[in-house]
Structure formats: C-alpha cells, structure tokens
Amino acid sequence: MPSTLSSFLPEAQTLLQQIFGYDEFRGFQADVIEQVVQGGDALVLMPTGGGKSLCYQLPALIREGTGVVVSPLIALMQDQVDALRELGVKAAFLNSTQDWRTARDVEDAFVAGQLDLLYVAPERLLTDRCLNLLQQGRVALFAIDEAHCVSQWGHDFRPEYLGLSMLAERWPDVPRIALTATATAQTRDEIAQRLALEQCRHFVASFDRPNILYRIVEKQEVKRQLLDFIRTEHEGDCGIVYCASRARCEDLAAYLSNHGIQALPYHAGLSTQLRAENQSRFLREDGVVMVATIAFGMGIDKPDVRFVAHVDLPKSIEGYYQETGRAGRDGLPSTAWMAYGLQDVAQHRRMIDESQGDERFRRRQVAQLDAMLSLCETVACRRQHLLEYFDQPIEPCGHCDNCLSPPESWDGTEAAQKVLSAVYRLWRERGQRFGAGHIIDILRGKLTDRVQQHDHQSLSVFNIGTDLSDQAWRGVLRQLLARGLLTVDHEGYGTLVLTEESRAVLKGEVVLRLRRAAPSAKRAATRSRG
Ligand code: ADP
Ligand code: ZN
C-alpha cells in the first residue's frame, strides 16, 4: 500500500539496514525516495558511484507492484539482478539474451505480482508485447537509468530512449524517476523535455570528487609514459586505461603485459564471451588493468579502481568526467591521469570536419572539443575548471597537477607569429600545405630530405626558430590548434591551415600567453624515483 509521509521514513530506514545493510542514506537519497514513494516524479543527477540505484530500488520495495527499470546496459542486467537476488530482492530482467521460455517465466512472475524489480532494455520495453504485459500487472514506478542517453547530442545517444516519453501518457499515475551522472544544465533540460519530466523535482548532487587527483601531461612516448605512471604510482593497483581505438587497446594491453602489468583488453571487437571473461576478471581479481574503449565502464561498480588513465583525448568533458569518475568510488585517493598532445588536437579537429552531421551537430562537437581542450590547457586548478563546467564553483583543490606545481605561462606571441608565417608563406609562395612536424623542421632550420626536396631552406621563415626546442614548438602548435588560431585541412593528411582568427595574431593585434611545457614525463618520473 502507498505509504504516508509519517510511515515512510522508518520503513525506508528499516529496509535500508535489513536488505541493503547500510546504516544511513547518502546525500539526498532519502529525499528522492520520499518523493517517489509518494508518487512524484524525479530527475536525479548524481556522479557515478553516488548511489543512484537505491533511489529507485527502495521505493520499488515500498510501493505496491513492480519497479520497472529501463536500462541500456544489457550486459550488466544479469549482474545487477544477481546482486539483488543475493540480498533477497525479487528481481528479474527481460532482454534479448534470454530464451523465450525464461522470458515467459519472468512475464508470468510479473503478472502474478511476484517481482519487486524488473529490468528491461528500452527497445524491448517499447514493443507491443511488453507494453501489453505491463498493463496486465502492476507497475510501482518506472526508473529510467542512464537518462542522458535521450540527449541527441550526447556521447551515449540511444534513439530508443526518445520513445520513453509515452510512459507518461500511458501510465499517468505511475511515478517516473530518471537518473544520470551527466550533469550540465543543458543535458538536464534536454532530459526533462524529452522524457516529459518538465514538472518534476530535480535532485542535483555535488559532482566534486575530492579524492581524485587530476593530472594531464604532455604526450610524448605515450606507452612509456603510461608504464612509468603505473609503475611509480600505481604498481599492483586496479585501473582502467581508455583508448580511442580497438587496435590501440590491443597494442597497449600487450605492451603493459609484456612489462609485467596484468592488463586485459576490452572493446566491441572482442567476442561477447571474451569481453565477459575480461570484465569478470577485472571485477573479481586484484590489480587488473583494463585497457578499454569507452564501450567499457557504464554501470561498472568496482569501488577500488585506483586510477583511470586516458591515452587519447576524450570527445567531451562530460565523457571524460564520467570515465574518470569510475576511479576511487571507495573515497580513497585515486588518480585521473591523461596524456595529451598535438596529434590529439589535430585528429579531433579533422574528425569533426569529416563528420557527416549537420551544421548544428558540428558546432556542438566543436564546442565540446573546445571545452575539453581548455581543460587540458588551463593553468588554473583542474578540479575547479571541471566543476565550473558543471555549474558548481569550488575553491582551488590544492592537489591537482596545476595546484601542486602551477604551470608557468610565457609571452608566445612572437613564436606564434613564426608558426603562422611559416604556414602562410608555404601556401602563398608555394601553394603547399604541411603537417606540424615539417613546419617545425623548417622553423628549426633542419636540412631534412623533405626540406631539401622542396627547397624549403630558401623560404624566409627557414631557421627562424632555433631559440626553441622541438618539444617547445610542438607545445606552441598544439596551443594554437587548441585555441582555433590554426586548424587542420580535412582534405590533406593533417596539414595545417590558417583560420580567420590567425590574422589578428599575425598582425600583432593580440598578445598570446602560452602555457610552458612541463618537464618531460620521463625526467619527472626519474626524479620522483629518486
Ligand atoms: P551509481 O548508480 O550512482 O553509480 P550505485 O547505485 O551503483 O551508484 O552505488 C554505488 C555504490 O555505493 C554501491 O556499491 C552501493 O552499494 C553503495 N551505496 C549506495 N547507497 C549507499 C548508502 N546509503 N550507504 C552506503 N553505501 C551505499
Ligand atoms: Zn587543483
């Protein structure tokens, strides 16, 4: 029977202890539970690991009927249901991995009112068969997990989620609770609008993760840098390394394994069986490092992941924050480490240029990339920068890389002008475009084969950049790309072209403060090893 306000708390508290074994609610769990138990809708934004599941699991136990949980993570339903059954909760799932006999048993149990929770994939839920089934039993609530999947511009968009707004029409009296770890105001509005939750109460948790130490290093020999990072700071720890491609996952996993680190690959190109096997080893064994694409991690609940490393630049801060948020769910110190370089910027710019989306889609991608780049290039506190992005201002954290050793900035106007003039002259005088490496060779006056082949030693910009090292020039180019003062020609292979904004720099109308390259990771690591 629906509880009244006065009877709600003691009952919820009892269930919390007896079933879940926790002493108290975390954050605003109790408020959400109260709202839903009383039949109200809720939109819950909590970082990964914040404890979202309880917000619908408990109300489902208290309210009459079955809590229907919409989740896109078919691969994890079995685990979730197993975990609940172990606690004595009557849970089941319906998805495409089952045979029809098992599915029919679950359906019968639902109609007979024997289930507390039923997990369903969105595409399954929206079938006539499933909707009719739900009409035959009693639904206590609808929980829409990973609700940001409804956001068309987000990185996890699932078209089936768009159909879920019909739940409001078909079951107007059943409370709905949407949950996500993606927090920008924009995504929040989009979820509310597309899931017909405009009127509902919003519960927005703090996204601050004080136990995560953020660090972004300049990419050089990334494999070696990663190995050094793990060895010096996280030897024997469990961690996740995110890569952009399957091939890269394989390559890195093999490299780490060859160097004595227990690393396993995880990506969509592996068989379902091997993926499940690797995932289960990661969850159950100690000290496994998962080298994965972003296919891995949504819904993974492992408290002692000590580090999350990115060897390729993520597409957005939201994705990055969600991925790094998988570290340190137990509240103990953990590291979010990323290596980022010139190639990352060039590659992302090119990918956006080549993408098939319309203008709006492209603009959105550019904005997401720019936000990501500004996090990489900032000289201010990383955590402060991240939380600002989520509209949650904090003081400088005191333990990210920038807080610990504030990066120097320098007047890079003249250096920038040299780079831009080189690009300009090559195009104006020779009709040629080249990539970053060759531009740097020209500036540094290197008589490489390619320089001689094109007679680039006769350009006026040849040898005008002997004052800076290769690495320093890469830093300048990277920052020019990051700020859109230079871009990549999508018809060439990463060749550089000027932008509208380049002109002001060439004319000396702006002063450019650049971030000074940090000491190379290798040197830093050697130093800290003493
Ligand atoms: P999310 O879905 O937000 O990522 P989960 O619901 O999976 O987070 O919860 C994360 C972890 O926190 C789980 O191990 C869960 O058992 C634990 N947890 C949730 N609520 C509480 C609580 N009130 N007290 C202690 N632990 C909790
Ligand atoms: Zn900081």
User: How much distance in Å is there from the Cα of 142 to the middle of ligand 1?
Assistant: 19
Query: What's the N-to-C CA distance of the chain in angstroms?
Result: 66
Q: What is the DSSP letter of 161?
A: G
User: How much distance in Å is there from the Cα of 26 to the middle of ligand 1?
Assistant: 8
> Are 59 and 52 in contact, with CB atoms under 8 Å apart?
no
Lowest mean pLDDT among 65-69, 174-178, 351-355: 351-355
CA distance 521 to 225: 6
Query: CB neighbours (10 Å) of residue 370?
Result: 13
Q: Say yes or no: ipTM exceeds 0.90.
A: yes
pLDDT tens profile 272-315? 999 999 999 999 999 999 999 988 887 677 999 999 999 999 99
Distances, alpha carbon 400 to alpha carbons 95, 212, 214, 260, 407, in Å: 43, 8, 5, 28, 12
50 lines ligand 1 (CB under 6 A): yes
**Token pair recorded at residue 275:** 């993926």
47 CA: nearest ligand 1 atom: 3
26 lines ligand 1 (CB under 6 A): yes
Ligand sitting nearest the alpha carbon of 402: 2
301 lines ligand 1 (CB under 6 A): yes
- Percent of the chain residues topping a pLDDT of 90: 72
- Whether residue 523 has pLDDT greater than 90: no
pLDDT tens profile 235-247? 999 999 999 999 9
Bridge pairing between strands 263-266 and 289-292: parallel
- Percent of the chain residues topping a pLDDT of 70: 95
Q: What is the DSSP letter of 520?
A: P
Q: Which residues neighbour 357 within 8 Å (Cβ) at sequence distance 6 or greater?
A: 365
> Are 469 and 443 in contact, with CB atoms under 8 Å apart?
no
CA distance 178 to 156: 15
298 lines ligand 1 (CB under 6 A): no
279 lines ligand 1 (CB under 6 A): no
Ligand sitting nearest the alpha carbon of 379: 2
Packing angle, helices 382-389 and 359-377, rounded to 10: 150
**Residue nearest (by alpha carbon) to ligand 1 atom 18:** 51
User: How much distance in Å is there from the Cα of 52 to the middle of ligand 1?
Assistant: 7
47 lines ligand 1 (CB under 6 A): no
DSSP E strand stretches across 79-211: 91-94, 117-120, 139-144, 176-180, 201-204
Query: By three-state DSSP, how is residue 51 classified?
Result: coil
Any bridge partners for residue 290, and if so which?
240, 264
Q: C-alpha dihedral over 144, 177, 53, 213, to 10 degrees?
A: 90
Ligand sitting nearest the alpha carbon of 45: 1
Lowest mean pLDDT among 33-37, 110-114, 157-161, 450-454: 157-161
What sign for the dihedral angle of Cα 299, 302, 303, 306? negative
Q: Phi/psi at 186 (nearest 5 deg)?
A: -60, -50
pLDDT tens profile 390-421? 888 899 999 999 999 999 889 999 999 999 99
Q: Which residues neighbour 118 within 8 Å (Cβ) at sequence distance 6 or greater?
A: 66, 67, 68, 69, 91, 92, 93, 94, 106, 110
**Residue nearest (by alpha carbon) to ligand 1 atom 20:** 51
**Token pair recorded at residue 483:** 């700020």
**Token pair recorded at residue 43:** 């939109």
User: How much distance in Å is there from the Cα of 207 to the middle of ligand 2?
Assistant: 15
pLDDT tens profile 80-130? 899 999 999 999 999 988 999 999 999 999 999 999 999 999 999 999 999
**How many helices (H) and strands (E) would you count in the chain?**
23, 17
CA distance 131 to 135: 6
- Whether residue 520 has pLDDT greater than 50: no
**Residue nearest (by alpha carbon) to ligand 1 atom 24:** 22
What sign for the dihedral angle of Cα 483, 225, 223, 334? negative
* Best of 14, 29, 54 for a ligand 1 pocket test (most atoms within 8 Å of beta carbon): 54
Query: CB neighbours (10 Å) of residue 488?
Result: 24
Instruction: State how far Cα 188 lies from the chain centre.
Output: 16
52 lines ligand 1 (CB under 6 A): yes
45 lines ligand 1 (CB under 6 A): no
Answering whether pTM is above 0.80, one says no
Query: CB neighbours (10 Å) of residue 405?
Result: 10
54 lines ligand 1 (CB under 6 A): yes
Give the burial class of 204: count Cβ atoms within 10 A of its Cβ; 0-12 exposed, 13-18 middle, 19 or more buried: middle
Bridge pairing between strands 263-266 and 486-489: unpaired
Tell me which residue of 49, 251, 69, 46 sits closest to 145, measured CA to CA: 69
Query: CB neighbours (10 Å) of residue 388?
Result: 15
* Best of 19, 22, 24, 323 for a ligand 1 pocket test (most atoms within 8 Å of beta carbon): 22
User: How much distance in Å is there from the Cα of 93 to the middle of ligand 2?
Assistant: 43
Q: Phi/psi at 127 (nearest 5 deg)?
A: -75, 155
**Residue nearest (by alpha carbon) to ligand 1 atom 23:** 25
Tell me which residue of 473, 478, 398, 483 sits closest to 440, measured CA to CA: 473
25 lines ligand 1 (CB under 6 A): yes
Q: Phi/psi at 98 (nearest 5 deg)?
A: -90, 155
Q: What is the pLDDT of residue 47?
A: 81
